[in-house]
């Protein structure tokens, strides 16, 4: 029996270890394949790291496909500035920070890649950013949104999109902007609103939750629930019971696909209702979430770092064409429209790198290297119409770090112009509803009676 | 009222844990093989139910009946190819853990390759419905899962305790060598047990599909809970697994409400540790038996 127990303990340890790493798959390597070229020769050569297997594989693969399509589109026109074809290497980070860090180190030391693009998850981004700093290799981070990523003062990591805490603050700002309407319907001033903040407990969810909390406190709202949960949980009934007891006017929710869908289902089962529900990107903006909750997705508000289905005239004419071209190509290749929160967002940032950073680096120094790209990034100053992310581009430097307005932390390598947008589901598709300059549709602030979570206040 | 709701939600969650753990416990109790790929058979069951639902519009509660025999065949193939060659050899227990761990990676990556990493979820007619019993809300889907778990438990218990086959299974689990001397075909019992264990978790996969999404690594999250439930209840103790599932479910729900949802699992694992200190053989464990 002792031996049996020992075996079971061994098995249990193995299962726990596997659940922590959330498993992985085999390494994948693909791409254009060119090695670094002769000195002086311009060779646009990058490494792409994404979680192609493991827990984040679904969205990691989507991002990877978007980056690849961006490179394909540009290479058809001759590459960067129409004359330097882009070549790349790919590594699979297996949804694991340690694997990501060792794979990227291998790319840098054995392949001599000067620029790394990708990450997807904040945890992986943090590990990769440390490696890039050590080897003075540029990391163009695409969706590691956690606030902590750029707080180390690292000089080689850059993030175009807004950080999680700003997403959290944006949902509160939006409610404050609707103060008159809220008063009319609920009969309450902003200061009297009861707010519940519920988020997954990873670095991303925690940062959004902190943003929610700081902004709600600043606005004088009454925070009645502030609760974190593990995104791998199989049951959210305890959170929902707390919410039922607290009777909030507003629920600010942050999670991933499975827990997000679980929340909607269990709320309906337990009879939880709320007048205003705002979710924050992550799982709530992707197709798998829509499939999981069906019609219940309609009128759900989400905060994203990109405007979904935005008014196109907010972009330059050239970008409008690029936007349409990408949508058409993606739809033809994959049979569905690209999700703006995932694929368009990854495409937009890669496109920005290859059409703004890379040409400027080559023009300024005659080479494509980590240092030349870094110099180019630091000299960028673009208007919002020049980026498909819907915000201007100007990065903070070690000499002039960016102090974020929500939590007051200092960030190096952050796009200080980055914004967050309120999107809303109509017929299963997300449309930007706030701020107005990108909005295609009028927002529906209070959940209508078609939602099982509706408190029925605005019907 | 909140106390009753916690109890109800906890019991329904525990039912899911117990449903998933039954097969693992059966295989361990009889063959003494720790099936590390247990959660991945659950994942395969979820995918099978998903495709039967989306392709042929068969409800997962119906497809569970189709999945059971199909997974018995899958279980038999796995038993012959992976488990059987290692039985009766040196370091059988360790080798079967390693072999089934390997199988876990094969299954996950096979599914990843065939069906991509997309999350697959279904919407049943009527959506997320529930039963309101005196103000206590019972999720319909979870209630069905719980009832099916109970039916399975009773059926399995009856077969084990009141049939000739059950007597043979119990005999093999208690003393393999004596069973051989009594003329029991041990290989046949092993194969049958493994097949039923795999089929039960496949069936569980179909039953939980209306509650959880399917994706290649979904089994990993359930594996941890299954192992905890089985060890807590008592290795090889069938009713222990049921009890273990319910205890973990109730503790997690109560801890989530009264303390913090984030720490719910910490509390359930704390209870698990305390039980192991006080009763190392688990709540109902009396050595390796069914």
Top-confidence residue, A15 or B35 = B35
The distance of A202 to chain B (nearest Cα, Å) reads: 11
Asked if residues A452 and A294 have their Cβ atoms less than 8 Å apart, the reply is no
Q: Which of residues 1-20 of B touch A (CB under 8 A)?
A: 2, 5-6, 9, 13, 16
If phi > 0 it is left, if psi is from -120 to 50 it is alpha, else beta; for residue A383 that is beta
What would the pLDDT profile of A49-83 be if each residue is shown by its tens digit? 999 988 788 889 999 999 999 999 999 999 999 99
Q: Which chain B residues are Cβ-neighbours of A26 within 8 angstroms?
A: 109
The distance of B63 to chain A (nearest Cα, Å) reads: 19
The distance of B192 to chain A (nearest Cα, Å) reads: 22
Rounded Cα gap, residues A211 and A219, in angstroms: 12
Rounded Cα gap, residues A211 and A76, in angstroms: 42
Q: Once rounded to an integer, what is the mean pLDDT over residues A273-295?
A: 88
pLDDT at B230 over 60: yes
Residue of A237, A255, A343 best to disrupt the B interface, most CBs of B under 10 A: A237
The distance of A265 to chain B (nearest Cα, Å) reads: 5
Q: How confident is the model at residue A317 (pLDDT cuts 50, 70, 90)?
A: very high
| DSSP 8-state code for residue B236 | T
How many other C-beta atoms can be found within 10 angstroms of the C-beta atom of residue A383?
Answer: 11
Q: Which chain B residues are Cβ-neighbours of A264 within 8 angstroms?
A: 128
Helix (H) or strand (E) holding A433: strand A429-434
DSSP-assigned letters across all residues of A29-53: --B--PPP--TTS--EEEEEEE--S
The distance of A301 to chain B (nearest Cα, Å) reads: 20
CB contact under 8 A, A271 and B137: yes
pLDDT at A217 over 60: yes
The distance of B121 to chain A (nearest Cα, Å) reads: 5
What would the pLDDT profile of B79-124 be if each residue is shown by its tens digit? 999 999 998 888 888 899 999 999 999 999 999 999 988 888 888 8
Full 3-state SS string of A160-188? CCCCHHHHHHHHHHHHHHCHHHHHHHHCC
Residue of A202, A235, A259, A339 best to disrupt the B interface, most CBs of B under 10 A: A235
CATH 3.40.50.2300 matches A165-305+421-438: yes
| DSSP 8-state code for residue A369 | S
Q: Once rounded to an integer, what is the mean pLDDT over residues B220-227?
A: 87
The pLDDT, as a whole number, for residue B289 is: 44
What would the pLDDT profile of B133-146 be if each residue is shown by its tens digit? 888 889 988 999 89
Q: How confident is the model at residue A2 (pLDDT cuts 50, 70, 90)?
A: low
The distance of A21 to chain B (nearest Cα, Å) reads: 10
Sort A102 into a burial class: Cβ within 10 Å, 0-12 / 13-18 / 19+. Answer: middle
Q: How far is CA B267 from CA A4, A227, B96, in A?
A: 26, 17, 31
CB contact under 8 A, A269 and B217: no
Out of B118, B127, B235, closest to residue A452 by CB: B127
Is the N-terminal amide bond of A435 cis, ω within 30° of 0?
yes
- Of all residues in chain B, the one with the smallest CA distance to A3 is B93
Closest-CA residue to A327 (of A313, A303, A348) = A348
Chain A contact for B126 (CB, 8 A cutoff):
no
Q: Which of residues 199-238 of B touch A (CB under 8 A)?
A: 211-213, 215-217, 220-225, 227-228, 231, 235
CB contact under 8 A, B13 and A235: yes
Helix (H) or strand (E) holding A261: helix A257-270
Q: Once rounded to an integer, what is the mean pLDDT over residues A94-99?
A: 92
Residue of B3, B18, B100, B262 best to disrupt the A interface, most CBs of A under 10 A: B262
Percent of chain A with pLDDT over 70: 91
Listed range (A70-74, A262-266, A282-286, A420-424) with the worst mean pLDDT: A282-286
Q: Which chain B residues are Cβ-neighbours of A13 within 8 angstroms?
A: none
How many other C-beta atoms can be found within 10 angstroms of the C-beta atom of residue A435?
Answer: 17
Q: What is the pTM of this model?
A: 0.84
Rounded Cα gap, residues B248 and B226, in angstroms: 10
Distance of CA A323 to the CA centre of its chain: 19
Out of A60, A242, A261, closest to residue B121 by CB: A261
Q: For chain A, give every residue range classified as CATH 3.40.50.2300.
A: 23-144+317-389, 165-305+421-438
Q: Which domains does chain B have, with CATH numbers?
A: 2-114+138-278 (1.10.3470)
If phi > 0 it is left, if psi is from -120 to 50 it is alpha, else beta; for residue A115 that is beta
Most confidently predicted of A33-37, A158-162, B253-257: A158-162
Q: How confident is the model at residue B125 (pLDDT cuts 50, 70, 90)?
A: confident
- Of all residues in chain A, the one with the smallest CA distance to B92 is A7
Closest-CA residue to B195 (of B20, B21, B41) = B41
The pLDDT, as a whole number, for residue A4 is: 55
Three-state DSSP at A426 gives strand
**A23-144+317-389: which CATH architecture?**
3-Layer(aba) Sandwich (3.40)
Q: Which of residues 87-116 of B touch A (CB under 8 A)?
A: 93-94, 97, 101, 104-105, 108-109, 112, 116
């Amino acid at each position: 029996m002792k031996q049996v127990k020992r075996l079971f303990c061994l098995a249990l340890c193995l299962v726990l270890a596997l659940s922590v790493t959330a498993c992985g798959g085999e390494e994948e390597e693909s791409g254009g394949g060119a090695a670094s070229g002769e000195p002086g020769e311009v060779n646009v050569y990058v490494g792409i790291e994404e979680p192609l297997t493991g827990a984040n594989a679904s969205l990691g693969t989507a991002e990877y496909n978007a980056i690849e399509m961006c490179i394909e589109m540009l290479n058809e026109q001759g590459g960067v500035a129409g004359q330097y074809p882009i070549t790349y290497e790919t590594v699979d980070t297996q949804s694991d920070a340690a694997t990501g860090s060792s794979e990227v180190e291998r790319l840098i030391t054995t392949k001599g890649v000067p620029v790394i693009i990708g990450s997807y998850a904040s945890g992986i981004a943090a590990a990769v950013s440390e490696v890039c700093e050590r080897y003075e290799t540029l990391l163009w981070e695409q969706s590691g949104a956690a606030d902590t990523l750029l707080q180390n003062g690292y000089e080689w990591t850059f993030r175009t999109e807004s950080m999680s805490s700003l997403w959290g603050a944006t949902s509160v700002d939006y409610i404050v902007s609707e103060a008159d309407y809220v008063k009319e319907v609920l009969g309450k001033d902003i200061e009297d609103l009861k707010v519940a903040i519920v988020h997954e407990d990873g670095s991303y969810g925690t940062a959004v939750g902190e943003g929610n909390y700081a902004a709600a406190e600043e606005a004088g709202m009454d925070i009645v629930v502030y609760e974190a949960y593990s995104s791998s949980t199989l049951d959210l009934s305890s959170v929902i019971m707390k919410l039922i007891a607290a009777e909030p006017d507003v629920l600010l929710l942050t999670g991933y696909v499975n827990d997000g869908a679980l929340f909607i289902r269990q709320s309906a089962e337990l009879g939880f209702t709320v007048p205003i529900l705002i979710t924050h990107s992550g799982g709530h903006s992707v197709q798998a979430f829509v499939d999981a909750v069906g019609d219940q997705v309609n009128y759900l508000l989400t905060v994203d770092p990109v405007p979904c289905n935005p008014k196109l005239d907010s972009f330059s004419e050239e970008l409008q064409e690029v936007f349409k071209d990408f949508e058409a190509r993606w739809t033809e290749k994959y049979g569905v429209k690209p999700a703006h929160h995932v694929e368009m967002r990854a495409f937009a940032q890669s496109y920005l790198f290859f059409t703004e950073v890379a040409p400027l680096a080559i023009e300024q120094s005659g080479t494509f290297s980590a240092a030349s790209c870094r110099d180019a990034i630091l000299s960028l100053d673009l208007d919002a119409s020049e980026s498909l992310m819907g915000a201007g581009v100007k990065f903070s430097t070690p000499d002039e770090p960016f102090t974020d307005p929500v939590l007051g932390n200092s960030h190096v390598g952050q796009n200080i112009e980055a914004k967050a947008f309120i999107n809303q589901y109509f017929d299963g598709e997300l449309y930007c509803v706030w701020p107005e300059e990108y909005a295609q549709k009028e927002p529906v602030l209070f959940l209508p009676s078609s939602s099982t979570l509706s408190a029925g206040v605005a019907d | 009222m909140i106390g009753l709701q916690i109890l109800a939600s906890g019991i329904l969650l525990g039912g899911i844990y117990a449903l998933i753990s039954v097969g693992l416990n059966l295989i361990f109790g009889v063959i003494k093989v720790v099936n590390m790929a247990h959660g991945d058979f659950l994942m395969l069951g979820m995918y099978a139910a998903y495709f039967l639902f989306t392709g042929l519009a068969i409800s997962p509660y119906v497809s569970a009946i189709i999945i059971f025999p199909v997974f018995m065949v899958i279980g038999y193939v796995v038993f012959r190819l992976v488990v059987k060659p290692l039985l009766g050899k040196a370091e059988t227990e360790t080798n079967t853990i390693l072999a089934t761990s390997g199988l876990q990676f094969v299954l996950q990556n096979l599914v990843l390759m065939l069906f991509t990493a997309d999350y697959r979820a279904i919407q049943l007619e009527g959506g997320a419905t529930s039963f309101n019993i005196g103000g206590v809300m019972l999720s319909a889907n979870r209630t069905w899962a719980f009832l099916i778990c109970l039916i399975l438990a009773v059926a399995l218990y009856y077969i084990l305790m009141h049939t000739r086959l059950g007597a043979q299974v119990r005999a093999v689990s208690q003393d393999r060598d004596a069973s051989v001397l009594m003329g029991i075909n041990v290989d046949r019992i092993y194969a049958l047990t493994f097949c039923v264990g795999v089929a039960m978790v496949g069936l569980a996969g179909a039953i939980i599909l209306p509650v959880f999404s399917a994706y290649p690594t979904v089994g990993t999250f359930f594996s941890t809970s299954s192992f905890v439930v089985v060890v807590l209840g008592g290795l090889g103790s069938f009713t222990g697994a049921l009890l273990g599932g319910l205890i973990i479910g109730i503790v997690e729900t109560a801890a989530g409400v009264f303390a913090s949802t984030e720490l719910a699992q910490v509390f359930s694992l704390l209870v698990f540790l305390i039980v192991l200190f006080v009763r190392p053989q688990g709540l109902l464990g009396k050595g390796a038996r069914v």
